[in-house]
């Protein structure tokens, strides 16, 4: 895994996985496919943190018998219930909750007649 920062602060989740029909030669080798077993840590990591974790885990795995390998996957973190800019925050049963903005239909458009010889123009 490359040790470079990603624009926008991408986050990674490291997973412990099982490989089959593959033999790693170094801790930076990438298996063609793995079966996910469990997340290595509860939280997400930066690219550098994930690379360090994967290399350390895989270096230790090379010295043991077995077919476990760590892999890092890019993830997007979203918070359920968090408002987006412009959404209303209301109180329901003593708790704050974001109310999704009402979807607006297309703007009302009328055609204005002109007397300058051009076709009618739309105005909102």
pLDDT digits (tens, 9 = 90+) for 28-50: 999 999 999 999 999 999 999 99
Percentage, residues of the chain above pLDDT 70: 73
Task: Establish if 112 belongs to a structural domain.
Answer: no
User: Is residue 123 a part of any domain in this protein?
Assistant: no
Domains contained in the chain, number: 1
Is the pLDDT confidence value at 107 over 80?
Answer: no
Mean pLDDT value across residues 58-72? 93
Residue ranges making up the domain that contains 45: 11-75
**pLDDT, position 117:** 59
Sign of CA dihedral 23, 27, 29, 33: positive
The answer to whether residue 68 sits within a structural domain is yes
Collapsing DSSP to helix, strand or coil, 58 comes out as helix
């Amino acid at each position: 895994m490359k040790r470079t920062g990603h624009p926008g602060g991408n986050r990674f989740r490291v997973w412990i996985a099982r490989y089959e029909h593959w033999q790693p030669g170094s801790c930076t080798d990438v298996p063609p496919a793995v079966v996910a077993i469990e997340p290595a840590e509860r939280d997400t990591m930066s690219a550098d943190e994930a690379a360090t974790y994967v290399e350390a885990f895989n270096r230790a795995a090379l010295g043991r018998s077995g077919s476990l390998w760590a892999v890092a996957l890019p993830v997007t973190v979203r918070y359920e219930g968090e408002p987006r800019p412009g959404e209303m925050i209301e109180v329901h049963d003593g708790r704050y909750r974001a109310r999704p903005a009402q979807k607006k239909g297309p703007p009302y458009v009328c055609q204005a007649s002109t007397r300058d010889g051009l076709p009618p123009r739309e105005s909102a």
